[in-house]
Amino acid sequence: MSQDPSSTTTPKEPVVKVEEKKLVVSFIQFLRQKVSANECTDSQIEGLEIAVQCLENAFSLTDKNYAFQPSKPLLQLLTEAEGLKAGEEEFPAPSADDIQRANALKEEGNECVKASKFNDAIEKYNQAIKLNRDPVYFCNRAAAYCRLEQYDLAIQDCRTALALDENYAKAYGRMGLALSCQNRYDAAIEAYKKALELDPNNDSYKSNLAIAEEKVREASQRFQNNPGANPFGGLGGGLGSLLSGAGAGGAGGMPDLGSLMNNPQMMQAAMQMMNDPNMQNLMGSMMEQFMGGSAGGAGGGGFNDLLAAGQSMAQQMQQANPELVEQLRQQFSGTSTEEGGNQQNNQGNNPSNPDNNQQQ
């Protein structure tokens, strides 16, 4: 059963529990202790500083939150809870008994899926994975996550399954389904193509690939036919999700560019971002992709590459200047309440489950 991504309501305000803030504070303290112990390279330190800023912003942390002092360091709590030993292999080889018990738990999880008890199924797969890190268990759990519309978790499980078995066609197929449900059709196309390389006779993969390719063509055509529409609306998972905002739905117009240009904080932040060499290189790459692909129409690779570049730019923008992204998000989401042509149409042309909901 396919899911309509627009059916999931994103909260307008962050939902952060007190205990979650304490967990994040503990994790940030772990990161800072790594740096203080001189255990990180310069590039690691730079990355950790960005990570800390993003975490503090995402979980609305203030200096007062750092008054929390855990009874034990986070790493010690994890080590004790999981029974980890220093120097132990990352994934010890399972015993024959572990494999048998894990397979039984997997079968119980499959029965839960058939009964639409998806949370129960996930718990069974969790227990199976603890005993034996079989790629099938991750792929089956991904299917359960998809049914709960938890697509990011599903995608990560598929990626993990592929890390364990790079020739696992079903993991590519399920990842394509999850990506399609997020409107990330460009990435879904690549996943379906990989699945078909490994399983060329699978009709579900062929059908889902055709649907994803049609969605990309539709997005390209909408952009060409309606230049005044929000160009970010078709970049699901990238600039679209950053700038369109949770409440924007299908905002049909662009924000007041004059007000953006007259906002000193906005202009200062934009100038700082555009002076970043990494951002300059990315913008140059995007322009090359756009100019190179505009003549080729929807059938060429230019628009697909532009979507991918937009997703990359969105990630860099969020990391480099989350305040600027938030201001842009507010401008885009507040422009119009009408449903425009950039909203994804998910009715009548949805991807099918690549394996008809059958678990392994």
Tokens at residue 44, please?
Answer: 């690691």
In what helix (H) or strand (E) does residue 98 lie, and over which residues does it extend? helix 96-114
So where are the chain's domains? 21-59, 106-220, 229-333
The CATH architecture to which 106-220 belongs is Alpha Horseshoe (1.25)
Confidence of residue 338 (pLDDT cuts 50, 70, 90): very low
Direct distance between the N- and C-terminal alpha carbons of the chain, in angstroms, rounded to an integer: 17
Query: Which of the pair, 84 or 145, is modelled with greater confidence?
Result: 145
Q: How far apart are CA 333 and CA 249, in angstroms?
A: 8
Whether the pLDDT of residue 330 is over 90: the answer is no
Residues 6+ apart with CB under 8 A from 147: 1, 3, 113, 116, 118
Percent of all residues in the chain with a pLDDT value above 70, rounded to a whole number: 61
- Output the pTM of the full model: 0.62
The pLDDT value given to residue 279: 60
pLDDT in tens, 256-306: 444 554 555 555 556 555 556 666 565 555 555 444 444 444 344 445 555
